[in-house]
Amino acid sequence: MKVIVTKSYEESCRAAANEIITQVQKKPESKLGLATGGTAEQVYPFLVDAYKEGKVDFSRITTVNLDEYIGMDPDSLQSYRSYMACRFFGPAGIDAANTYVPSGRNKAEDEIQLFNEKLYEDKMVDLQLLGVGVSGHIGFNEPGEKLTAGVHIEKLDESTIAANSRFFDSPDDVPKEAITMGIGDIMKAEKIVLIATGENKVPVMKALLTDDEITCKIPATMLKMHRDATIVIDAELAKAAGYQN
Ligand code: F6R
């Protein structure tokens, strides 16, 4: 894995955005795998700025998002479709027809089939953006005795429900399941860029960057097996996780 240590979370977002911009400049018809969540949120304004400054053209990209809560209406403000539409697709001039965010409302088996078609039709994901959960999840692949390779419905870890309750009125409102790319799907991306920040990610980053173990109990550790994974963290998190370049 390549590790980029930046001065601040803002610089991490700029660095992650630059990876995406470079990818699209090199290959304008890139297929991007995209993430939502609090950490990835500030990556998108850098992409939008680059688009507005004419540095990058997103008109030929296609996108596939990692996941969505089961039961979530795509039209709801809390949906990952709305998140992507207002933070990236709309302001960066991306045609919604070239994007796929799984629906949490469709019949599970139909949506899993559609997700697989979108993931694997034409070409594989060129670059996958990831955040990481306090549980160690990537996408919504939660820790356990085993992991799942393909697209599936995942029961969310208690720690994920607690962490994500900040986006809802109460913890009871957080959906308990999600549809997600599997670990195998994520690992098939040509290139992976993971961004992390904050004290609550220290144990996971320690497991990823300073321990040698690969374990289903911390799904992000699977990234140690990827050929081209870049981890972007700020100096504060690197220090707290005991990482030294
Ligand atoms: C979101 C996703 C999740 C988040 C993770 C971190 O699409 O797949 O894995 O990246 O839960 O979320 P934050 O950044 O809010 O801590």
Token pair listed for 245: 């370049």
User: Would you say residue 207 has pLDDT above 90?
Assistant: yes
Is residue 136 a contact partner of residue 174, using CB atoms and an 8 Å limit? no
Which of the listed residues 66, 165, 234 should we mutate to test ligand 1's pocket, taking the one with most ligand atoms within 8 A of CB? 66
Find the 168 Cα to ligand 1 centroid distance in Å.
15
Neighbours of 91 (CB within 10 A): 16
Cα 219 to ligand 1 centroid, rounded to whole Å: 13
Tokens of 109: 């088996």
| Helix (H) or strand (E) run with residue 47 in it | helix 44-52
Give CA 193 to chain center in angstroms. 9
Chain centroid, CA 7 distance in Å: 22
Give the number of C-alpha atoms closer than 13 A to the C-alpha of residue 160, restricted to the C-beta side: 22
Summarised one tens digit per residue, pLDDT across range 50-94 is 999 999 999 999 999 999 999 999 999 999 999 999 999 999 999
Which residue puts its alpha carbon closest to atom 11 of ligand 1? 133
Q: Six-digit token pair at 39? A: 């950490």
- C-alpha span between 38 and 36 (Å, rounded): 7
135 Cβ neighbours under 8 A, 6+ residues apart: 142, 143, 157, 159, 160, 204
Encode pLDDT of 107-155 as tens digits: 999 999 999 999 998 899 999 999 999 999 999 999 999 999 999 999 9
For the cut 90, the answer to whether the pLDDT of residue 245 exceeds it is no
In ligand 1, the atom with minimum distance to the C-alpha of 40 is 14
Summarised one tens digit per residue, pLDDT across range 18-35 is: 999 999 999 999 999 999
How remote is the C-alpha of 192 from its chain's centroid? 9
For the chain, give the mean pLDDT. Answer: 97
**How many angstroms separate the alpha carbon of residue 132 from the centre of ligand 1?**
5
102 touches ligand 1 (CB under 6 Å):
no
pLDDT-above-90 percentage for the chain: 98
